[in-house]
Structure 1
């Protein structure tokens, strides 16, 4: 692809203006920008891979405006718009079975905004959600050109780096819990749960022992980071993901010989006590607190579980009051702050402690946008998982075992995100929207590949 002369001329003019201005030192930045634009124009998939790598590292750029990921995303969006206008990209790539849910969801979203309880909060919510929607469209357009193994490597390495920072530096911890470059340990646990299936894939598919040892080290660091977050929801999501992975590889169980089973039992006998010994005492106490949930949230002293129970009570009341269109996007904190729960669970009465989100994306959407929009959002995520399942089945029919394994692990990552939304308010999570679009791309690629010829 050739960059239009008009774009080059515009950047050249900007460079000359800066040279004649009081800030001539900014002129080289235009040249670097031109080189970056040229690279993105020729290889847009590189930009998407760059965003994937930058998501866990966004905390490093929180004081810069705009951040690196936003700058890459905005540049990539403008380039793709230009390529669509010049017919250098086929517009039919935007077709997807996900639009049937997403389009109607956005219609209800804007209707809810018209009747919102607070327009400012709703506009802020829309601004956050629009980032995910832009990434969804970008992935639909260029996901076919993206190297998925590179995708897995970048996501694993980026999250592993933040795990190292969080495990060995109190600067990246929140009251002793690892938060990485984020402000919430649970949000950090979500990134780890997303990366672990991909790290395991890299361990299984490594070409040699040295690479396998490297990715094993990354996997151990990810598990260590998960324990350091002390996230109970992260542990639940991780166990669900691993069980699904074992189910996928069940066909390989007959390959296990009795001697292999013996070594596995010996390794388990050594690793399980060591793991329990290495777990932080606070994490063990938080896990043990789950065993008394049957007595009710008010019957124990776990403030976190009691606070989550209060979110359900407030969200349920909001749904009963506005079942069709909700109270407006982003307004759950406004309603929660007006209840006695906000004061009861606020340690210092600060604004951020009083205006709390639901810590449950599904509850938040049902209460803020109404039941129809909530069902459409659930349908959207369900269709994404269904696309992954169909892609896996298509590759298995074609005896493409490597591709089937790849889709399975990416599906585990998507499932980790969707389950984690039960414990975290993150409808704008970038990985979520990238993976949703990627689910359609993977299914389309699998189903359009030729079937193997039958032998006579």
Structure 2
């Protein structure tokens, strides 16, 4: 309450300044901005939901835009949470997490690598991008207790599906692959794959059959989207998610009756041939091309696979030359451009694009920050997965199957992102850092509430 008068004066002054500026038409936005800030202050966890919902539509804004919806919401959320911390409305103990034991040493190695970087300005740019993910990690830790994971799953599934619907015909002219509203079909495939377990979980926990059919329809559309992206890694990770789902439900086999096996067998006999017949020939050919990976970077039959093999060769050379500090954060493209692979696998004579990232977050960290920093980052990602597994095990032991399913399917979603890091260089991924923080909060919740039935 004591802040209402000064805030009103500041916002009134902002309105006057806008009226006197070259952009007077922005002045009417002051009132909605006040309302939005008030709602965000009252429910700061909604900011996390909004940022995640905007991830699939980031491609609507030009690359490098100074102002986007996610940035505005992120800056406002940081300001709101910082003010609440100063006023002691948010307890600092919420930052407690077992992930700090890997994250803090990793940041130390990252900063030391920057000191010995071969291109310091590029490393500072990489640090600025990583700071986005770190900020979301801290914000999610602080706000986890107010964060509705049910609404997070709903918004994320709907946002990814919505981006796929409105950009169904956004096809890469050179590859014929769907990109959604993003610039990279593989990144779009990662989002689709990550929300597939959440869509299945939403269908399981829905009580009405109409709502359950709706989420099953979303699940089918998302899997169709993975096929449209032509992502080989996406298809493999979807299979991993299916295997993880079967593993989670293995303890439920005692509830099955013989007639249930008959229905399952009949569904497989009918469904699998229909599925394989419906797959486009081009997609099947792309998946089958994975067998030539054993031929390494010398294979030119599939330039994409050959290029990815060359990243491994270059990354291994960087690690050999500088195992302790690496070449410096964000400098892999410089190293790659100096190798003959960059010319051999250039996209075209008019647009060669010799400066290419590692397309493997783990390889990029190992080569750019050195073995200590890279291994600490890998340990951080693995510990996040262990948090989900531990939460599931704790809740199963206490007979809380609802919460156990929540941990299992959020863990599968996180595992999909973690596996996609093998194929994309996205250490600053918003989804990765938010899911990491959720893993920590979920494990603490499971350990601190032994007999409490909590809602997701």
TM-score of the aligned structures, taking structure 2 as reference length:
0.95
User: What pairs up with 1:21-170 in 2 under 5 angstroms?
Assistant: 21=21, 23-62=23-62, 65-166=66-167, 168-170=168-170
Q: Deviation string for 1:68-88 (max 9, x for gaps)?
A: 011101110111011101111
Give the stretch that moved more between structures: 398-407 or 361-370: 398-407
Q: CA deviation at 1:288?
A: 1.0
For residues 436 and 33 of structure 1, what CA distance do their matches in structure 2 show?
31
Partner secondary structure for residue 198 of structure 1 = helix
Partner secondary structure for residue 427 of structure 2 = coil
Q: Deviation string for 1:293-319 (max 9, x for gaps)?
A: 334453561111111110011000000
Q: Are 1:207 and 2:207 counterparts?
A: yes
Give the stretch that moved more between structures: 322-331 or 110-119: 110-119
1:3–1:41 Cα contact (<8 Å) kept: no
Q: Are 1:362 and 2:370 counterparts?
A: no
2:169–2:178 Cα contact (<8 Å) kept: no
Q: CA deviation at 1:274?
A: 2.0
Matched residue, 1:425: 425
Distance 1:187 1:21, change over 3 A: closer
2:171–2:177 Cα contact (<8 Å) kept: no
Q: Are 1:283 and 2:283 counterparts?
A: yes
Partner secondary structure for residue 62 of structure 1 = coil
Matched residue, 1:389: 389
1:173–1:180 Cα contact (<8 Å) kept: no
Q: CA deviation at 1:3?
A: 5.5
1:170–1:176 Cα contact (<8 Å) kept: no
Which structure 1 residue ranges, 5 or more long, are not aligned? none
Matched residue, 1:403: 403
For residues 154 and 174 of structure 1, what CA distance do their matches in structure 2 show?
32
Q: Deviation string for 1:274-296 (max 9, x for gaps)?
A: 22222222211111112233344
Q: CA deviation at 1:9?
A: 2.3
User: What pairs up with 1:215-254 in 2 under 5 angstroms?
Assistant: 215-254=215-254
Q: CA deviation at 1:352?
A: 6.5
2:164–2:181 Cα contact (<8 Å) kept: no
For residues 31 and 119 of structure 1, what CA distance do their matches in structure 2 show?
43
For residues 118 and 20 of structure 1, what CA distance do their matches in structure 2 show?
43
For residues 117 and 350 of structure 2, what CA distance do their matches in structure 1 show?
25
Matched residue, 1:438: 438
Give the stretch that moved more between structures: 101-110 or 118-127: 118-127
Q: Deviation string for 1:26-75 (max 9, x for gaps)?
A: 21111111111101000001111111111111112337531101110111
Give the stretch that moved more between structures: 46-55 or 251-260: 251-260
1:362–1:374 Cα contact (<8 Å) kept: yes
1:395–1:446 Cα contact (<8 Å) kept: yes
Q: CA deviation at 1:362?
A: 0.5
1:337–1:355 Cα contact (<8 Å) kept: yes
For residues 299 and 380 of structure 1, what CA distance do their matches in structure 2 show?
34
For residues 381 and 154 of structure 2, what CA distance do their matches in structure 1 show?
24
Give the stretch that moved more between structures: 55-64 or 291-300: 291-300
Partner secondary structure for residue 353 of structure 2 = helix
Q: CA deviation at 1:241?
A: 1.7
1:397–1:451 Cα contact (<8 Å) kept: no
Matched residue, 2:328: 328
Alignment size in residue pairs = 452
Distance 1:399 1:354, change over 3 A: same
Q: CA deviation at 1:22?
A: 5.2
Distance 1:165 1:22, change over 3 A: closer
Distance 1:265 1:439, change over 3 A: same
Distance 1:36 1:174, change over 3 A: farther
1:174–1:185 Cα contact (<8 Å) kept: no
2:194–2:416 Cα contact (<8 Å) kept: yes
Matched residue, 2:270: 270
Give the stretch that moved more between structures: 172-181 or 410-419: 172-181
Matched residue, 2:184: 184
Matched residue, 2:195: 195
2:384–2:436 Cα contact (<8 Å) kept: yes
Which structure 2 residue ranges, 5 or more long, are not aligned? none
2:343–2:352 Cα contact (<8 Å) kept: no
Matched residue, 1:346: 346
Distance 1:29 1:320, change over 3 A: same
2:134–2:433 Cα contact (<8 Å) kept: yes
Matched residue, 1:414: 414
